[in-house]
Amino acid sequence: MSIKNSMSIINRNIKVALLQFYTGSDKQANLQKVREFAAKALAKEPALDLLVLPECFNSPYAVDQFKNYSEPIPSGETTKFLSDLAREYNVNIIGGSFPELGSDNKIYNTSLTFDKRGEIVAKHRKAHLFDIDIPGKITFKESISLAPGDKATVFQLDNLCKIGLGICYDIRFPELAMIAARQGAGIMCYPGAFNTVTGPKFWTKFAVARAIDNQVYILMCSPARNVEGGGYQAYGHSMVVDPNGDVLVEAGHGEEIVYCELKPEVLDEARKNIPITLQRRFDIYHDVSKDAVAKAI
């Protein structure tokens, strides 16, 4: 399947804000931080179309804690909180991720997206679990407490555009972004919590690679690095990369809100100048989007 070069991939300029803040062990304090940062972002930019939260925004990023913070969807308090927030502020929200207690009694790292009416329009469970062992630097195994998701997630957000969604380690595997782009997405969003070992080495490289490979905007939203608080040290550096692979905005490692305006003409020009969407050779290699399990809910 080829996606034609078209201004309709993104219907108009989209104003986004990435909320990079500290998370800790107090769930209510974490939720209050979301509200404070959302209010601050909208006070500065009242016409924002989309807020993006970081991975594991309501809990510590710790494999031995995910179960303690897990909630059912849609009846859990975090789901209700985000729904109410989106409706109250009349803004779309990609709700980072938080531990979900599934109906199968398994724990998932799950992202929910809400429209301005507070309705859930997308649900993505992290498909690729972060199991690594770098001798002398870091060992981390999400599979100790988490189960993987089983689908790609591509959804239409209001009348703005289609968006693909992944979580953190999902970005290392190009297929999710390929599926999203082939199905008409103009944006790929990855809430993530890279650490201070993998972050400096890979965070920007992956964002740029996924942007160039698929000629889409890439949104990367991280927690802030809480050096004084101890525990897991997130890399930070939330960023937006355009379809040419240029980093448009980038945070530091502390608490910060990153603002950016995504312009349809940039995407359109990138695809017009180098028309890879029309040049793929699916006669000699497989189109992963044709048999992908990709749905919003």
For every one of its 297 residues, what pLDDT tens digit does the chain have, with 9 covering 90 and above? 333 334 459 999 999 999 999 999 999 999 999 999 999 999 999 999 999 999 999 999 988 999 999 999 999 999 999 999 999 999 999 999 999 999 999 999 999 999 999 999 999 999 999 887 878 877 778 999 999 999 999 999 988 999 999 999 999 999 999 999 999 999 999 999 999 999 999 999 999 999 999 999 999 999 999 887 678 899 999 999 999 999 999 999 999 999 999 999 999 999 999 999 899 999 999 999 987 765 555
Residue 1 is predicted with a pLDDT of: 34
SS3 40: helix
Domain ranges of the chain: 7-279
- For 249, half-sphere exposure in the C-beta direction (CA atoms, 13 angstrom radius) is 20
Query: Across the chain, how many H-helices and E-strands are there?
Result: 7, 15
290 is known as an active-site residue: no
Question: What pairs with residue 17 in β-bridges?
Answer: 51, 259
Residue 290 is predicted with a pLDDT of: 87
- For 257, half-sphere exposure in the C-beta direction (CA atoms, 13 angstrom radius) is 21
Q: How far apart are CA 125 and CA 108, in angstroms?
A: 6
Pick the CATH number of 7-279 from 3.40.710.10, 1.10.150.120, 3.60.110.10, 3.30.1340.30: 3.60.110.10
The catalytic residue among 123, 126, 142, 162 is 126
126 is known as an active-site residue: yes
The catalytic residue among 33, 55, 100, 161 is 55
201 is known as an active-site residue: no
CA Rg value for the chain: 18
